[in-house]
Structure 1
């Protein structure tokens, strides 16, 4: 029997077979978790701010299908929508009466903390949810200082690495960190 389910969301210029989410899927499977990697490329093609809401809605609908233990994970835009959906699920802010999964954790790689002009509020992930973030010191899109402040406010575990936004040199490291989170929330 599976320990729980993981939904892995890819970044804006990526897809469900991307290197990082594929590595996380292998970790989840190895540790006995089911997983899925939604495809948002149809929504990303227009590169319009309103498409973020459609991404959030798609992930939220997928998450609500699961009634058992759930972990959300994502990279870049996938991290942003994972955090947003975690906030919706934990706070019930969407107003639906459908079943809410047991959200156990959140894993974010290179998360955009704020998206001025694209999204009205900063990333709203709940402070009470076990959260781990992997971010590059040299991220050219999201300053490390903003991520440090965001993590500090939530007491989220932050792992800063010598890398850029894509975290290309830290795929295995990110997968290992994800394994650490899954083991922790599965205890």
Structure 2
């Protein structure tokens, strides 16, 4: 089975930063191809979602979307159309000014959300609002918005997340 993980980076991040490399390694270990689109020239989160939706995913039987901050918003918006197997969201930029969508229809068999108590970009309350509305488990860490201090734990969570699809 051809499987793909698409990592969607944040607003001021790059496609192949430190987090991306960690998640790419995990994805490859589980037999997934890995893509990280470059959104650096596109500041509009909804246009980024359009860019993601323009990707040709026809050759893949299983897609998992992972996103950080604005990339988590992009992943969630795009999931309504892509309908991935999994949605793995880090510090999702929900309910912020300039983000068009405030009502979501996240479509994935499994959705995981991770956020930092010390996040001063996206308030934890915003993420709790999303998780409560869509009945998604919220995993909180004592870290900031970038979550780099817990990247090892997040990579382990992602590995368990992908392994769960192999078991089913």
Q: Report how far residue 125 of structure 1 moved.
A: 4.4
Report whether the alignment pairs 1:113 with 2:94.
Answer: yes
Corresponding position of 2:48: 55
Per the alignment, do residues 168 and 67 of structure 1 end up closer, same or farther by CA in structure 2, a change over 3 Å counting? closer
Q: Distance in 1 between matches of 2:82 and 2:4?
A: 15
Report whether the alignment pairs 1:79 with 2:59.
Answer: no
Higher deviation after alignment, 120-129 or 15-24:
120-129
After superposition, give the CA deviation of every residue in 1:2-21 in whole Å (9 maximum; x if it has no partner): 4x111001111111111112
Q: Report how far residue 127 of structure 1 moved.
A: 6.1
Q: Report how far residue 108 of structure 1 moved.
A: 0.5
- Mind listing any 5+ residue stretches in structure 1 that lack a counterpart? 45-50, 91-102
Q: Distance in 2 between matches of 1:112 and 1:63?
A: 25
After superposition, give the CA deviation of every residue in 1:116-146 in whole Å (9 maximum; x if it has no partner): 2x12322624266410111001110111122
After superposition, give the CA deviation of every residue in 1:150-183 in whole Å (9 maximum; x if it has no partner): 1122222321000010102011111111112111
Q: Distance in 2 between matches of 1:170 and 1:125?
A: 28
TM-score normalized by structure 2?
A: 0.90
RMSD: 1.8
The answer to whether the 8 A contact 1:127-1:155 is kept is no
Per the alignment, do residues 42 and 128 of structure 1 end up closer, same or farther by CA in structure 2, a change over 3 Å counting? closer
Q: Which runs of 4+ in 1 moved over 3 A?
A: 63-67
- Mind listing any 5+ residue stretches in structure 2 that lack a counterpart? none
SS in 1 for 2:100: coil
- Identify which of 61, 65, 73 aligns with 1:68: 61
The answer to whether the 8 A contact 2:79-2:108 is kept is no
The answer to whether the 8 A contact 1:127-1:154 is kept is no
Q: Report how far residue 65 of structure 1 moved.
A: 4.0
Q: Distance in 2 between matches of 1:31 and 1:17?
A: 19
Q: Distance in 2 between matches of 1:127 and 1:114?
A: 18
Corresponding position of 1:180: 160
SS in 2 for 1:186: helix
TM-score normalized by structure 1?
A: 0.82
Per the alignment, do residues 8 and 127 of structure 1 end up closer, same or farther by CA in structure 2, a change over 3 Å counting? closer
The answer to whether the 8 A contact 2:4-2:60 is kept is no
The number of aligned residues is: 167
